[in-house]
Structure 1
């Protein structure tokens, strides 16, 4: 961002300075014919415009950071003003080429470099804006389907909505059990460690539903990330430690969450440690969570926005899928990532810096 602003300032200064110099010339020079070559500038403008037309903004690998196109376009517009100016000097044209070349270089530097791509299991950006499928940008093709929630919760359906940047239909609003269902795959059930990263804007924590599930793989029998009514971020994972099955459920302890505000949330778990992050900063590290994530005996699809896939709920209290024990998220979710490793603080900060508005 700062580099782009410097380039824009430099561009204006170069052009303005050249114009001042040009109009300071005397009338005695009117008979001189000066040939100004704009060929290189025209090619550079075309290169920059092609770059904007053929690239996509976003947070997935190979995309460009949000806002990068607008910043490059500003420099393109300045360069085009020079190109279209019949009184432009060669110095002015050359300066425009230099500035535009630097802007293109700065734009390329904003190409998204993935964080720990070898450990990325799933990445759902929710940028589709229409339809009933959300794509997985991890390369694993764990695509999800927008699904109506259970009637017990009100049978809600995910709605496309405005994201944290203000872009329409680039995030999903969840309520009344609305969820994204992703078919089970063993990679979604990591065996050694896990990281979940997402953006949330919680709406409400209505009683009696203090179980605002954001991401869940078979509830507490696998893992689940949710909000409590405190409100705090809460994570539960079933682990295997010394041959015994144990449950680790912890929260971020402090601070509490403000409803109606955007937060980047991340939780990491590995043998002995569970860490919580808000907006790129580690806010709590628990060091009393031994074991490794347990592997599900029977596959259960991953659910975003509801504690279980809608189709497996049961009305029986004897069932592990008893609907009354569940819950759903009320609010907006975006940019959900799952890793099969416990990312470092630096890596979490990098995701936040990449995705923050």
Structure 2
């Protein structure tokens, strides 16, 4: 009996000791990754202002609201932009969503940032839409008759080889119509001085549009570099010219990724124009923020997502 009792205590001690050793070893062998810009993951960047997020990791649903697409065309999954996870792969296709509540209130995007990873080529023929926040299908009267358009002008004569032209626009309500707005583009004027070329055809790039409603400025970033035309930043209207100010939207809204808000994507009142094409390539990690991200925040987001974090 004594021997049995001693063996039991020894066995118990060995179990506890092994558990402690194992726990210590796991902690010591797998240290936490160092923060980037003070963040441990991309979801921490401006977290309280993140209104919508599409990861495309095996699902087309919007992550925060779990909203599923109402329609999709030629949409599958490919390898994620960071080499981890998955991405949306479109072969002349799009994904259309019904109303997402956080993107469908009058002042939801007074200031706004849209961020996405894209991988496409310069086809030299048609422009490709990346993301659009639109009016309802039956209400949208034209492709730009809504709050946000984020696209690529792959059909421009100045766009050749691996060079991409990024172009984004915003519109706000005036007298009940989207008749007031502005845009920016990495084109016109002197390259390297007025704007920056984007050598991004056929590879993943991080494309961000920012509209600051407080200052009425619109900027475009690619891979953490400000590429848009400095002369088009400030958006004004009227006589005398006055800053446009925060965006006000009509509800309900919808989202289309990879397609223009036109008849090809189900917008029955919006005629498809010859220069518009459906997206071919990859789209990943689409995020919409209800604020103008700072250049520091954009840099942190770029680095974290590049690392698959």
TM-score, shorter chain, exceeding 0.5: yes
Question: How far apart are 1:308 and its partner, in Å?
Answer: 2.3
Runs of 4+ with >4 A deviation: 36-44, 107-111, 240-244
Instruction: Quote the residue 2:150 is aligned against.
Output: 225
Instruction: Quote the residue 1:269 is aligned against.
Output: 211
Instruction: Quote the residue 1:257 is aligned against.
Output: 199
Instruction: Quote the residue 2:89 is aligned against.
Output: 173
Residue 308 in structure 1 maps to residue 261 in structure 2 = yes
Greater displacement, 139-148 / 255-264: 139-148
Q: Secondary structure at the match of 1:140?
A: coil
Q: 1:142–1:182: 8 Å Cα contact kept in structure 2?
A: yes
Question: How far apart are 1:247 and its partner, in Å?
Answer: 2.9
Residue of structure 2 aligned with 1:333, choices 248, 266, 283 = 283
Q: Could you give the per-residue CA deviations for residues 14-66 of structure 1, whole angstroms, max 9, x where no partner exists?
A: xxxxxxxxxxxxxxxxxxxxxx9795454454x5xxxxxxxxxxxxxxxxxxx
Residue of structure 2 aligned with 1:344, choices 275, 289, 294 = 294
Which has more radius of gyration?
A: 1
Q: What's the RMSD between the two structures over aligned residues?
A: 3.1
Q: Secondary structure at the match of 1:308?
A: coil
Distance in 2, matches of 1:341 and 1:283, equals 20
Residue 322 in structure 1 maps to residue 258 in structure 2 = no
Q: 1:204–1:330: 8 Å Cα contact kept in structure 2?
A: no
Distance in 1, matches of 2:70 and 2:17, equals 49
Q: 1:122–1:142: 8 Å Cα contact kept in structure 2?
A: no
Question: How far apart are 1:119 and its partner, in Å?
Answer: 1.1
Residue 121 in structure 1 maps to residue 51 in structure 2 = yes
Distance in 2, matches of 1:295 and 1:246, equals 11
Matches within 5 A, 1:105-120: 105-106=31-32, 112=41, 114-120=44-50
Instruction: Quote the residue 2:8 is aligned against.
Output: none
Q: 2:198–2:227: 8 Å Cα contact kept in structure 1?
A: no
Q: Secondary structure at the match of 1:268?
A: strand
Distance in 1, matches of 2:260 and 2:21, equals 52
Instruction: Quote the residue 1:278 is aligned against.
Output: 222
Q: Compare the two structures and name the one with the higher helix fraction.
A: 1
Residue of structure 2 aligned with 1:142, choices 37, 60, 67 = 67
Q: Compare the two structures and name the one with the higher strand fraction.
A: 2
Unmatched 5+ stretches in structure 2: 1-12, 135-142, 187-194, 236-242
Distance in 2, matches of 1:213 and 1:333, equals 11
Q: 1:313–1:323: 8 Å Cα contact kept in structure 2?
A: no
Question: How far apart are 1:185 and its partner, in Å?
Answer: 3.4
Residue of structure 1 aligned with 2:247, choices 290, 293, 296 = 293
User: Higher RCO, 1 or 2 (CA under 8 Å, sep at least 6)?
Assistant: 2
**Pair 279,41 (structure 1): closer, same or farther in 2 beyond 3 Å:** farther
TM-score under structure 1 normalisation? 0.61
Distance in 2, matches of 1:42 and 1:146, equals 52
| Count of residues in correspondence between the two structures | 248
Distance in 2, matches of 1:205 and 1:44, equals 59
Q: Secondary structure at the match of 1:307?
A: coil
Q: Secondary structure at the match of 1:135?
A: coil
TM-score under structure 2 normalisation? 0.69
